[in-house]
């Protein structure tokens, strides 16, 4: 018996490949029923399937979000009206800010993610104090383990180590961060058990996410 998400990756890649060549309202209107049936409906089902599983792992209620097909082009030079990827998010509803969890499909990736997208001013100050101490060493150890298991994370946003810390600080790379998000390219092979692949990936992120929740 086939799984309900077995063709979601291939369907999304086919749809967005065509959309990239025809990114206009006329084409999307003609293919909207295809988007609704092959992408939006199974994506929402995937969100609802993962939410209680992730909630059980975290012992928290989890809310879901499917990102809109329409792009916000108000402040962008690129005025193409539609996104060429399928992105969704799970947000734990514990006390205060929590790391969030992602899944996305595009022509060039099938990817999970988890972390904090942007520190606010208070979090930024707290982050620097936190990672400058022993907690930073423990976090880096867990980040290294996540990378060894296949995860990646981007370069720091700041070019220089912020004062009063010196450039030779052992946690200089963490001090230069304004966010921390882990990513894992799970590939199209995940189609055979997409729920299992996402769950496994989120579990691999969890030691780092647990550290972030401690920081918050």
Is residue 3 included in any domain, yes or no? no
Nearest partner of 52 among 44, 60, 40, judged by Cα: 60
Q: What is the per-residue pLDDT for 2?
A: 55
Percent of the chain with pLDDT over 70: 98
Is residue 116 included in any domain, yes or no? yes
Is residue 1 included in any domain, yes or no? no
Q: What is the per-residue pLDDT for 188?
A: 72
Considering all CA atoms of the chain, what is the largest pairwise distance in Å, rounded to the nearest integer? Answer: 60
Q: What is the rounded average pLDDT of the residues 143-168?
A: 95
How many structural domains is the chain composed of?
A: 1
d(CA 189, CA 86): 17
Q: What is the per-residue pLDDT for 15?
A: 98
Q: What is the rounded average pLDDT of the residues 128-149?
A: 95
Label residue 1 by pLDDT band (50, 70, 90).
very low
Is residue 90 included in any domain, yes or no? yes
Tokens at 77, concatenated: 């030079």
Tokens at 209, concatenated: 């996410």
Is residue 40 included in any domain, yes or no? yes
Domain harbouring 121, CATH code: 3.30.930.20
Strand partners, 64: 90
Nearest partner of 125 among 173, 99, 163, 89, judged by Cα: 163
DSSP string covering 9-55, please?
HHHHHHHHHHHHHS-SHHHHHHTHHHIIIIIIHHHHHHHHHHHHHHH
Label residue 10 by pLDDT band (50, 70, 90).
very high
Burial 166-196 (b: 16+ CB within 10 A, else e): eeebebbebbbbbbbbbbbebeeebbeebee
Q: What is the rounded average pLDDT of the residues 9-29?
A: 97
Q: What is the rounded average pLDDT of the residues 17-26?
A: 97
Judge whether residue 216 has pLDDT over 80.
Answer: no
CB under 8 Å to 134, separation ≥6 — which residues? none
Tokens at 17, concatenated: 């490949």
Is residue 2 included in any domain, yes or no? no
Place of tokens 């928290």: 60
DSSP string covering 117-139, please?
S---HHHHHHHHHHHTSHHHHHH
Is residue 193 included in any domain, yes or no? yes
Tell me which residue range forms the domain holding 200: 8-215
């Amino acid at each position: 018996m086939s799984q309900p998400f077995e063709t979601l990756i291939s369907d999304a890649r086919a749809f967005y490949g065509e959309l990239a060549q025809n990114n206009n309202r006329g084409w999307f209107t003609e293919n909207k029923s295809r988007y609704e049936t092959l992408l939006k409906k199974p994506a929402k089902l995937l969100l609802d399937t993962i939410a209680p599983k992730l909630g059980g792992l975290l012992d928290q209620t989890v809310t879901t979000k499917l990102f809109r097909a329409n792009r916000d082009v108000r402040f962008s030079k690129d005025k193409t009206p539609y996104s060429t990827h399928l992105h969704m998010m799970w947000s734990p509803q514990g006390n205060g800010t929590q790391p969030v969890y992602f899944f996305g499909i595009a022509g060039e990736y099938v990817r999970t993610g988890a972390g904090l997208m942007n520190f606010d001013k208070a979090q930024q100050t707290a982050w620097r104090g936190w990672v400058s101490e022993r907690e930073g060493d423990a976090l880096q150890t867990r980040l290294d383990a996540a990378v060894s298991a296949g995860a990646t994370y981007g370069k720091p946003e700041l070019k220089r180590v912020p004062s009063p810390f010196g450039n030779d600080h052992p946690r200089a790379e963490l001090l230069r961060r304004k966010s921390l998000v882990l990513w894992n390219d799970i590939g199209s092979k995940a189609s055979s058990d997409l729920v299992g692949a996402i769950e496994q990936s989120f579990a691999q992120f969890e030691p780092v996410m647990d550290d972030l929740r401690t920081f918050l």
